Amino acid sequence: MADPGNRGAGVPDGAVAFFDLADGLKLALWPRVSLAREAGVELGPRSPTELSLGHNVRSAADVDAAYGRALAAGASGVKEPHPTFWGGYAAYVQDPDGHLWELVFNPDLLPPPLSEPEGRGRSNPG
């Protein structure tokens, strides 16, 4: 069965593969050269801590908000929020430990709506 989240055609330097995890979490695997090009950073030497963490949100406005929160929390802006060539909207930040984070709205891979935590927003008939 073909994975509809696997993008190969039209992606410079190779494909990205998506894997569904629990509760709407997705794992995306990119070739190093593709990730460097996508994020707009220099391709550096291999490192044991080399990875990108993606935070998938429900709208372009959510990307903008997450980008602002990340900067306020001490992250460095790498690539400001922008429309992507594949129809989404994304930004990149680097956390204080140097890890690269993609803040992304992908209309084809929306996370599930947030639900109310137990005991919040509900009356307790107690």
Residue 117 lies in a domain: no
User: Rounded distance, CA 105 to CA 44, Å?
Assistant: 26
Q: Contact at 8 Å (CB) between 30 and 37? A: no
CA torsion through residues 26, 31, 33, 34, sign: negative
Query: Which residue range(s) make up the domain with 70?
Result: 17-105
Tell me which residue of 100, 52, 58, 43 sits closest to 77, measured CA to CA: 100
Give the least confident one: 9-13, 60-64, 65-69, 84-88: 9-13
Residue 97 lies in a domain: yes
Residue 119 lies in a domain: no
- As a whole number, mean pLDDT of residues 82-109 equals 92
Residue 12 lies in a domain: no
Please name the residue ranges forming H helices in the chain: 32-39, 60-72
- As a whole number, mean pLDDT of residues 85-101 equals 90
Residue 9 lies in a domain: no
Residue 69 lies in a domain: yes
Number of domains in the chain: 1
Residue 116 lies in a domain: no
pLDDT of residue 75 exceeding 70, the answer is: yes
User: Rounded distance, CA 97 to CA 44, Å?
Assistant: 16
Residues in the chain: 126
Tell me which residue of 88, 83, 82, 78 sits closest to 35, measured CA to CA: 78
Residue 11 lies in a domain: no
**CATH (domain of 46):** 3.10.180.10
**Residue 82 Ramachandran class (φ > 0 left, ψ -120 to 50 alpha, else beta):** beta
Give the least confident one: 49-58, 62-71, 74-83: 49-58
- As a whole number, mean pLDDT of residues 111-117 equals 72
Residue with tokens 């060539």: 85
- As a whole number, mean pLDDT of residues 40-63 equals 85
Q: Residues 29-39: pLDDT tens digits?
A: 888 888 888 88
